[in-house]
C-alpha cells in the first residue's frame, strides 16, 4: 500500500528501511524521501515506523513468554 504518494513509497519499503536501521522519521525521509514534499503523509509514515519497530521486536520478546526458549514449537498438520 502506498503511504507517500508524492514519492511512491510503500509500507513495505518503510518496513524494509526500518529493518535496515532507518528507524526514525528523519532517517526515512533521508533514505526514501517519504514526507519531504507536501508532508501530509508524515503521520502515516510515523505509524508505519512504529508498526515495523514493534513487529521486529515482538517475536523474540514473546517467545520467552509462551514457550521456554529451548522448547520446539508445536507442529501443525
Ligand atoms: S504524500 Fe508524502 S510527501 Fe506528499
pLDDT at 73 > cutoff 70: no
pTM score of the predicted model = 0.74
CATH number of 2-64: 1.10.10.1100
What's the CA-to-centroid distance between 45 and ligand 1, angstroms?
9
* d(C-alpha 77, C-alpha 64), whole Å: 24
Spacing, Cα 70 to ligand 1 middle (Å): 46
| Residue list, ligand 1 pocket, CB within 6 Å | 4-7, 34-41
pLDDT band, residue 46 (cuts 50/70/90): very high
* Whether the predicted pLDDT of 72 surpasses 80: no
pLDDT, greater one: 48 or 58: 48
Q: Provide the pLDDT for residue 55.
A: 85
Domain boundaries, the chain: 2-64
The answer to whether 32 and 13 have CB atoms below 8 angstroms apart is yes
Contact (Cβ atoms closer than 8 angstroms) between residue 45 and residue 34: yes
Nearest to 18 by CA among 7, 5, 29: 29
Q: Are 17 and 32 in contact (CB under 8 A)?
A: yes
Minimal CA–CA distance to 63: which of 54, 52, 73?
Answer: 73
pLDDT tens for 55-65 read 876 655 555 56
Amino acid at each position: 500500500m502506498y503511504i507517500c504518494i508524492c514519492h511512491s513509497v510503500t509500507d513495505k519499503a518503510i518496513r524494509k528501511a526500518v529493518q535496515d536501521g532507518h528507524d526514525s522519521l528523519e532517517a526515512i525521509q533521508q533514505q526514501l524521501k517519504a514526507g519531504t514534499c507536501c508532508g501530509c503523509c508524515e503521520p502515516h509514515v510515523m505509524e508505519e515506523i512504529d508498526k515495523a519497530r514493534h513487529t521486529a521486536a515482538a517475536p523474540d520478546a514473546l517467545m520467552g513468554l509462551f514457550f521456554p526458549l529451548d522448547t520446539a514449537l508445536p507442529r501443525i498438520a
